[in-house]
């Protein structure tokens, strides 16, 4: 069993930055791929990015590529989402997710564990 707790959300102006953290506990954190997703009311959950277990490989949605960066620190059991040049359309609840799979994982259905989410609001 894995528990995931996100933090770092908040209100920021367009063009600003935020860094989200996701602390994992419950099993060997370095064993699997992690991902970030987001969701707004009335819309389906959207893939944001993924990072492989080693931390060397990452993948991003086109909408955030070049603005968001995912990193992980396996010694701290934590994955991060650095969000720069934020836009109002980035407003959403952001979720981190974990899977025992290796490599980059883009589909939400392939993740086994989810955090409770953290709200990010970008004002124009």
Angle CA 19–11–70, to nearest 5:
20
Ranges of beta strands (E only) in the chain are 3-7, 10-13, 18-25, 34-39, 46-51, 58-60, 68-73, 78-83, 92-98, 113-114, 118-123
Segment 6-22, tens digit of pLDDT? 999 999 999 999 999 99
Q: What is the pLDDT of residue 14?
A: 98
With a cut of 90, say whether residue 121 has pLDDT above it: yes
Q: What is the pLDDT of residue 29?
A: 57
Q: Taking all residues of the chain, what is their mean pLDDT, rounded to a whole number? A: 94
Torsion (CA) 121, 60, 38, 122 in degrees, nearest 10: 10
Segment 25-73, tens digit of pLDDT? 886 656 689 999 999 999 999 999 999 998 999 999 999 999 999 999 9
SS3 of residue 66 by DSSP:
coil
């Amino acid at each position: 069993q894995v528990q995931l707790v996100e933090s770092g959300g908040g209100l920021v102006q367009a063009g600003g930055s935020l860094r989200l953290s996701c602390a994992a506990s419950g099993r060997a954190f370095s064993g699997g791929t992690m991902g970030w997703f987001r969701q707004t009311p009335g819309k389906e959950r959207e893939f944001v990015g993924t990072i492989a277990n080693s931390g060397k490989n990452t993948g991003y949605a086109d909408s955030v590529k070049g603005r968001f960066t995912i990193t992980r620190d396996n010694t701290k059991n934590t994955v991060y989402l650095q969000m720069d040049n934020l836009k109002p359309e980035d407003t959403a609840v952001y979720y981190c997710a974990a899977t025992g799979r290796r490599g980059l994982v883009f589909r939400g259905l392939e993740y086994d564990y989810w955090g409770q989410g953290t709200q990010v609001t970008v004002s124009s």
